[in-house]
C-alpha cells in the first residue's frame, strides 16, 4: 500500500494520482494546504534524495512513500517508477515515441504558468480559498490555513511571482503551449504521440487543467474551484482554451482515461 503526500489540488500531484489509479494501485493520501505541507514534507523526506528543479523546491509535492520506506519525490519519477513496476508491454505509459519529451516540455513550460495563473485568480478571494481548504483537507488544517492566509498570500506571491505582470507572462506562455499542441493535433490524431494513451497525454492534460478550470466533474482527483466561483478573467481564458484542439484533447483525456 502506498502513501502519497500531497497539496491535493496541485496538477503535479494529479499526475502522480492518475498514475497510481491507472496502474490500479491502492494508496492513501496525506493532504496538506500549501505552506502547511512543509513540516510533513521535511519529516518524510529527511533521509531521501529530494531535490528541487526549475519549477519546484525540495519541499514540493507529490512524494510517494513506498511500503519498503523508499520515498520518490517528483511526479515524473513517480510515474516512471510505477511504469517500471506495473506497466509491462500492454500498459506502459512510455512506449510511444516522443512521449517523454512531451512530459518534460509540459512540466517545464506549461505547468508553472498554469499554476501561477490559478493562484493569481483565486489567492485574494478568501471565500474561494476557504472552500478549497474545506473540500480538500480536515478541520484543523482548515482553521490554521484560514488564520494564516494573510501571511501565506505574501509568501506565495513572492515565491511564484504572482502579480499582474506575471499573469500576463503566464497567459502568453499558456497560449503558446496550447497553440503548439493544437498544431500537433491538427491531423485529427487521438493521442499526442503514437497510437495510444501515453504519459504525453496524461501530462499535458494535468498541466493544462488549472487554466481549463477542470474540476471534479471533469474527472480531476481533488476539489478545484467551480467555474461559477472563478473571476471572469479566469472563465474567459478557460473558455478560450477549451475551444482549441489542445483544450478539447485535455478534456477528452480526463473524460476517457481518468477513472
Site string for ligand GSH, 133-162 (x = CB under 6 A): ------------------------------
* Nearest to ligand GSH of 31, 192 (CB atom): 31
> Given the rule CB under 6 A, which of 49-57, 121-129, 141-149, 190-198 is the region that contacts ligand GSH?
49-57
> Given the rule CB under 6 A, which of 19-27, 60-68, 166-174, 201-209 is the region that contacts ligand GSH?
60-68
CB of 64 to ligand GSH, least distance (A): 10
* Nearest to ligand GSH of 104, 172 (CB atom): 104
Residues 90-109 that bind ligand GSH (CB under 6 A): 107
Among 42, 51, 57, 255, binds ligand GSH (CB under 6 A): 57
**Residue 80 in the binding site for ligand GSH (CB under 6 A):** no
**Residue 53 in the binding site for ligand GSH (CB under 6 A):** yes
* Nearest to ligand GSH of 221, 244 (CB atom): 221
Q: Please provide the DSSP assignment of 201-253 as one string.
A: HHHHHHHHHHHHT--GGGT-SS----GGGS-HHHHHHHHHHHTSHHHHHHHHH
**Residue 75 in the binding site for ligand GSH (CB under 6 A):** yes
* Nearest to ligand GSH of 76, 142 (CB atom): 76
With cell 507529490, the residue in question is 62
> Given the rule CB under 6 A, which of 5-13, 126-134, 171-179, 248-256 is the region that contacts ligand GSH?
5-13
**Residue 45 in the binding site for ligand GSH (CB under 6 A):** no
Site string for ligand GSH, 172-211 (x = CB under 6 A): ----------------------------------------
Among 22, 33, 50, 74, binds ligand GSH (CB under 6 A): 74
Q: Which residues pair with 56 in a beta bridge?
A: 53
Q: Please provide the DSSP assignment of the chain as one string.
A: -EEEEE-TT-HHHHHHHHHHHHTT--EEEEE--TTTHHHHHHHHHTTS----BTTB-TTPSPEEEPTTS-EEESHHHHHHHHHHHHTHHHH-SS-STTHHHHHHHIIIIIHHHHHHHHHHHHTT-HHHHHHHHHHHS-HHHHHHHHHHHHHHHHHHHHHHT-SHHHHHHHHHHHHHHHHHHHHHGGG--SSSSTTS--HHHHHHHHHHHHHHT--GGGT-SS----GGGS-HHHHHHHHHHHTSHHHHHHHHHHHHH--
The residues that touch ligand GSH, with contacts defined as CB under 6 A, are 7, 10, 12, 53, 55-57, 59-62, 74-76, 107, 115
Amino acid at each position: 500500500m502506498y502513501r502519497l503526500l500531497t497539496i491535493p489540488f496541485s496538477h503535479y500531484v494529479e499526475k502522480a494520482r492518475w498514475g497510481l489509479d491507472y496502474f490500479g494501485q491502492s494508496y492513501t493520501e496525506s493532504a496538506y494546504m500549501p505552506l502547511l505541507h512543509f513540516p510533513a514534507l521535511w519529516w518524510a523526506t529527511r533521509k531521501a534524495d529530494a531535490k528541487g528543479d526549475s519549477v519546484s523546491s525540495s519541499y514540493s509535492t507529490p512524494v510517494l512513500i513506498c511500503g519498503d520506506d523508499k520515498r520518490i519525490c517528483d511526479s515524473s519519477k513517480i510515474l516512471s517508477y510505477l511504469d517500471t513496476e506495473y506497466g509491462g508491454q500492454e500498459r506502459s505509459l512510455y512506449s510511444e515515441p516522443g512521449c517523454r519529451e512531451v512530459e518534460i516540455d509540459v512540466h517545464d513550460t506549461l505547468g508553472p504558468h498554469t499554476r501561477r495563473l490559478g493562484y493569481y485568480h483565486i489567492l485574494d478571494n478568501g471565500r474561494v480559498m476557504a472552500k478549497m481548504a474545506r473540500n480538500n483537507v480536515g478541520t484543523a488544517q482548515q482553521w490554521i490555513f484560514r488564520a494564516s492566509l494573510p501571511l501565506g498570500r505574501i509568501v506565495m506571491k513572492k515565491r511564484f511571482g504572482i502579480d499582474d505582470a506575471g499573469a500576463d507572462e503566464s497567459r502568453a506562455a499558456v497560449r503558446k503551449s496550447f497553440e503548439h499542441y493544437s498544431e500537433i493535433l491538427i491531423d485529427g490524431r487521438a493521442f499526442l504521440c503514437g497510437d495510444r494513451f501515453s504519459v504525453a497525454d496524461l501530462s499535458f492534460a494535468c498541466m493544462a487543467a488549472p487554466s481549463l478550470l477542470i474540476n471534479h466533474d471533469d474527472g480531476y482527483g481533488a476539489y478545484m474551484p467551480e467555474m461559477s466561483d472563478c473571476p471572469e478573467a479566469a472563465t474567459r481564458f478557460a473558455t478560450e482554451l477549451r475551444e482549441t484542439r489542445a483544450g478539447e484533447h485535455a478534456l477528452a483525456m480526463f473524460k476517457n482515461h481518468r477513472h
